Amino acid sequence: MSTTLKRVHGYLAEFDSVKDLYHAAEQVRDAGYQRWDVHSPFPIHGMDTAMGNPRSILPKFVFCGGITGTTIAFILQTITQTNFWSHIGLGFLQKIVETYPTVVQGKPTDIWTLPAFFPVMFELTILFSAFTTLFGLLALIGLPRWNHPLFASKNFPKFSDDGFFVCIEARDPKFSQEGTKTLLEKVGGKNIELVEDEL
């Protein structure tokens, strides 16, 4: 569906090489822009410094996810296989899961059988961490999403082949139709185009 109403998404400029893109990014950063990004077919080493990006906070999520996995494995195994929870006065928890004790292998039924639970605790730590990594990443980068204004640009799909782009968004407080375009020209941008979002 096409309407006449359009909103400016931002300026998109193309660069010839990684080196040009890197130096352009440094200058855009120094000009004080906030809402902008560079698009490249592969991650460029050192680009975070050139853009002034902070470190990803993903590891903090993953740490929490991993601890959750360890805890769940510990509770799951001790509640179903030991008398640990009754001993610390939380026997009602064991009533809830209604376990029929499997007294086999001549192994202890108190908390000191804990080493036998290490493998499952380890595996669930890894499992929960891995899924936290995946979903934490998707949450941080705001994907998946069906469409994006940049895909309206005829030039943009080159980003996944051999194109290097800088896009400065209109919602940046320093954005101006003339000033931003001049900056992109000054830092060596080519094929500068105004990307519009259909409303």
Footprint of other proteins on 101-130 (CB under 8 A): 102, 104-105, 107, 113, 116-117, 119-120, 122-124, 126-127, 129-130
Contact 136, 62 (CB under 8 A): yes
Residue nearer to other proteins on the CB measure, 37 or 196: 37
> Contact between 81 and other proteins (CB under 8 A)?
yes
Residue nearer to other proteins on the CB measure, 150 or 183: 150
> Contact between 187 and other proteins (CB under 8 A)?
no
| Token pair in block for residue 35 | 């809402």
> Contact between 198 and other proteins (CB under 8 A)?
no
Contact 28, 182 (CB under 8 A): no
Burial class of residue 14, CB neighbours in 10 A (0-12, 13-18, 19+): buried
83-102 residues near other proteins, rule: CB under 8 A: 97-100, 102
Q: What HEC string does 61-85 produce?
A: HHHHHHHHHHHHHHHHHHHHHCCHH
Q: Which of 8, 64, 75, 76 binds other proteins (CB under 8 A)?
A: 76
| Token pair in block for residue 1 | 């569906």
Distance from C-alpha of 199 to C-alpha of 191, rounded to nearest angstrom: 24
> In this structure, which long-range contacts are made by residues 89-93, counting pairs with CB atoms below 8 Å and at least 24 apart in sequence?
none
Residue nearer to other proteins on the CB measure, 86 or 122: 122
> Contact between 17 and other proteins (CB under 8 A)?
yes
> Contact between 152 and other proteins (CB under 8 A)?
no
Closest contact distance (angstroms) between CB of 87 and other proteins is 18
Closest contact distance (angstroms) between CB of 35 and other proteins is 10
| Token pair in block for residue 64 | 């929490």
Q: Which of 8, 27, 47, 172 binds other proteins (CB under 8 A)?
A: 47
Number of residues that bind other proteins (CB under 8 A): 82
